[in-house]
Each structure stands twice: as structure tokens, then as C-alpha cells.
Amino acid sequence: MRQIFLGLALATAAVSPALAEGAEKKGLPQLRFEDFPPQIFWLVISFVVLLVLLSTLVLPKLQGTIEGRKAKLEGDLATAVSLKDEAAAAIAAYEKALAAARQRANAIAAEAKAQIEAAAAARKAELEAKLAEEAKAAEVRINATKAAALAEVRSIALEAARAIATKVAGIEVDDASAASAVDAALGRNG
């Protein structure tokens, strides 16, 4: 690198007397045909120096940057693919867990329904037994009341039969005769 700059400095020093001479001539130096060979020479030298500088300094840095970007892009793509795979696996695991949770919820609901139905059936059976017991007790009370009422009716009928016999027939009827007549009448009607 130092040699290139040293060569440029020497070339500039060698050309400076020619540049001083050119100041005396009139017209644009770019359009003078007699000055074309030195201009072409310096153009070629400048191009070669620029080419060497670009190929040794700029192009390796540019190539390193491009390779770095390419490596980063490939790394990012690989990361994206792995994250996509992880996301797909996570979604599959989520869906599996969701299906298992639904299945568990359905099983729990079915079990709760069965327990509720069993409790309702037990409660119904208990209530039916209690109602049957109460119905039997009521029937016993009704029968007792009926028997008491019939006994009361019999005693009233006995008294009425004796009173009727006394008033209508004018005879006095004993208890046994009145009882047999009332029993016969109640047996036919009752």
C-alpha cells in the first residue's frame, strides 16, 4: 500500500513541470490532441491503482459483508423453520390436551349425571316408601274411624230400633233382639 502511494507521489512530482508548461498554452487541455497520450497513460495507471485498491481493500470487505448477510439470512431461515416446527408441535400438543380435557369433562359430566340420577332415584324411592307408609297409616286411621263410626251407628241404630218399637208397636224390646235386628239390617245394607 505504501508503495502505491509512493509511486503516485513520484508520478505527480514528475508531471508537475509538464503541468506548468501547459498553463501557457491556450484552450482546454482535455481537447488538445497532442496531450492525449499522457492523459491515456495516467488514465490507465489511475484505473490500475483503483482496481488494485478495490480488489485488495473494498471487495474483500464487501464480500465479507455479503457472506455475513447470507450466513445471517440462512441462520434466520433455519431459526424460522425450527420455530415453525416447534409451533406446530405446540399446536399439536395443545389440541391433544384440549381433546383429553374435553374427554375428561364429558366423563365427569356423565359421572355427575349418573350420580344425580342415582340420588334422584333413591330420593324418589324414599319418598314413595314414605308416601306408601303414610297411605297405610291413613288407611288404618280411616278404617279405625270407619269402625268407630259403624260402632256408633250400630249403637244409635239399637237405640232408634228400641225407641221405634216402643212408640210404634208399644212393646218393649230387649237389647239382644234389637241387636240381632240391627245386625241383620246393617248386614244387608252395609
pLDDT tens by residue, 24-66: 667 777 777 777 888 889 999 999 999 999 999 989 999 999 9
pLDDT of residue 169: 78
Q: What's the rounded Cα separation, in Å, for the pair 140 and 31?
A: 145
pTM: 0.40
Residues 98-145 pLDDT 10s: 999 999 999 999 999 999 999 999 999 999 999 999 999 999 999 999
Per-residue burial over 139-168, b if 16 or more Cβ lie within 10 Å, else e, is: eeeeeeeeeeeeeeeeeebbeebbeebeee
Pick the more confident residue, 158 or 99.
99
- Taking each continuous run of H as one helix and of E as one strand, the counts in the chain are 4, 0
pLDDT attached to residue 162: 81
pLDDT for the residue 18: 56
Rounded to the nearest integer, the mean pLDDT of the chain is 85
